[in-house]
Chains A and B, each alone.
Chain A
């Protein structure tokens, strides 16, 4: 293969074939993909099915704890899982920039292959476009996932009920701060790493022991605060969050305090919010903590009647609104 990607690789000719066989098939290897038909034949799926799609762009492509490759698998696997589904198959579309070093592409594809194996999903169909230099930023990836719903009633943002317990599967803010720190070269952020992880097995365990789970959401962009506001709005309930119970790593707290950011609005890529009946909270927490990705799981709040908004009970015992942000958080001047 060439040392950098040429427009030829997206032409559909021999160069495209070489890219598929020497890179994608090598790392994604499975019999369904290897048939190389126009579409993948999925003969063994049993309904109801859950389907989700997401496009991934991130700078830098590699960061402590993950890469755009692992993110593109975990993100979609987690989205499908949040419906109480077992993710099975993924599609994968690449938009690649001409001149991209092949070594970079190969590392990203290898990360995707490893993440897919770890999450027990197969990449069964794909597409590659190569665009002229400057038309995209190195690598854009889209993945679509499909999974079989095993929950008796699929969890939904509309199902939170007054009295329900609100759980989070671990510490929040790590991914958002890590990517910001890597992108901007903030050398003082040394002890943070992305939490990017596949949550499908943990979710399966939680649903199988708790049975009734009302809401599952992964608080990605906009973080915990935004996701809770969306749930309050969808379910027309209030949510009271206990700040002292929200797990946040010391390094994230310090980094946020320095930059004037609120960790409750930072993205997570390996956490889920779980809202379920009060009497199921303990066994659900135990199930989360059995997973390597849920050791720091905690109960952080309660669903209440009243206006659809999120109220934060602060560390010092005060109360305030935890609202939606208008746009992205920007670091402050002083």
Chain B
């Protein structure tokens, strides 16, 4: 992919850094990204070490694993222990610890049937191969993932695969951005908007950022030059806030209407629990009432147990940008990737895990 390496060109990056410096003209800027891939890209490329001192990078609730609530984890761990259930899941959920400390990896080692899949469609193959069991796909992710899960539901419906259902824990990005900005004293001056999610949503769902909150938002790609360009545009739009697309080679301003239609055919918004942020109105997706057989919650009678807050964990403050990971008293001491206390340390795309892994 020759085209992508162009966006890692050191000269191009240097000139964008100079442009950023010029636009900022000595003023400071606090920006938040809300996408795990952005978090990792900023650290992994070394971009963080090159950002001017007056630019503050905040890592928001952008990692689907990190924002999966304790109660939701407890519910799917419970599901894994049931007879005649095979759980199909993306790999990065395997090591998320529930309230008791055990994870799907532990459950698997103790005999639960947990299968890692690379695409939701793979779980249909599992269902066909195990006609006596119910295959439950763990639907975790944002607007990028939900349409492929919807496509899987459509395929199951067309092929008459009855022993397949989805435990939908999908979350929506725009309501979370609103919740962050409604939080008093949040200190967020601009958003780096998620490139992948925006391929589906387009720009319109973010319009409220500029209109109602006067905060600019720039959709950015994932190579260093993409991110730097987004930062330059962000700095330029601070006086005249707008939502801008700096990733047109992947994101259409109108998004992907077909994918959205498919998503809306099977799912509808509902209130959802976010780890660290709590309950956010209309920020999750559940299956529509007519798809009861395909909805693991109703088909298998899943309820979310009460999960008490994790003692001492400040992930909520980290996700809101009030605290940088090293400022948390547990960071690197009680809370490490080997012994994660909070969600931000669990996933490789979590902000605490990224700080721990990449900071010298």
Contacts and interface: CB of A to CB of B under 8 A. Distances in A.
A333 B46 contact: no
B349 A317 contact: no
A136 interface: no
B349 A332 contact: yes
Contacts of B40: 260
A290 interface: no
A333 B145 contact: yes
A124 B135 CA distance: 49
Interface stretch (A109-117, A153-161, A294-302, A321-329): A321-329
Contact of B14 (A253, A317, A320): A317
B37 A321 contact: no
B91 interface: yes
A246 to B, nearest CB: 14
B1 A254 contact: yes
Interface string A309-327: 1011111111111010011
Contact of B357 (A311, A314, A321, A330): A321
Nearest to B358: A320
B360 interface: yes
Contacts of A318: 45-50
B91 A331 contact: yes
Interface in B29-49: 36-37, 40, 43-49
B158 interface: no
A284 to B, nearest CB: 28
Interface stretch (B136-144, B241-249, B264-272, B310-318): B136-144
Contacts of B45: 314-316, 318
Nearest to A262: B44
A259 B116 CA distance: 14
B263 interface: no
B118 A184 contact: yes
Interface string B7-20: 01110011000000
Contacts of A330: 91-92, 94-95, 116, 348
A257 interface: yes
A334 B358 contact: no
Among B43, B48, B348, the most chain A Cβ lie within 10 Å of the Cβ of B348
Given A186-B118, A320-B359, A321-B358, A332 B46 contact: no
B90 A331 contact: yes
Given A316-B45, A320-B46, A321-B360, A331 B118 contact: yes
A316 B92 contact: no
Contacts of A8: none
A315 B8 contact: yes
B196 interface: yes
Nearest to A312: B46
Interface in B325-360: 337-338, 348-349, 357-360
B356 to A, nearest CB: 8
A316 B15 CA distance: 12
Interface of A (DSSP majority class): loop
B7 to A, nearest CB: 10
Given A186-B118, A319-B49, A326-B338, A334 B92 contact: no
B142 A320 contact: no
A327 B9 CA distance: 32
Interface in B220-252: 224
A254 B95 CA distance: 26
A250 interface: yes
Contacts of A332: 36-37, 90-92, 348-349
Contacts of B357: 321, 323
B360 A320 contact: yes
Given A332-B349, A333-B90, A334-B141, A317 B50 contact: yes
Contacts of A329: 348
Contacts of A319: 46, 49, 360
B209 interface: no
Interface string B121-148: 0000000000000000000111011000
Nearest to B197: A334
Closest 10 CB pairs of A and B: A318-B46, A314-B46, A330-B91, A326-B337, A318-B49, A334-B144, A316-B13, A320-B358, A333-B90, A318-B50
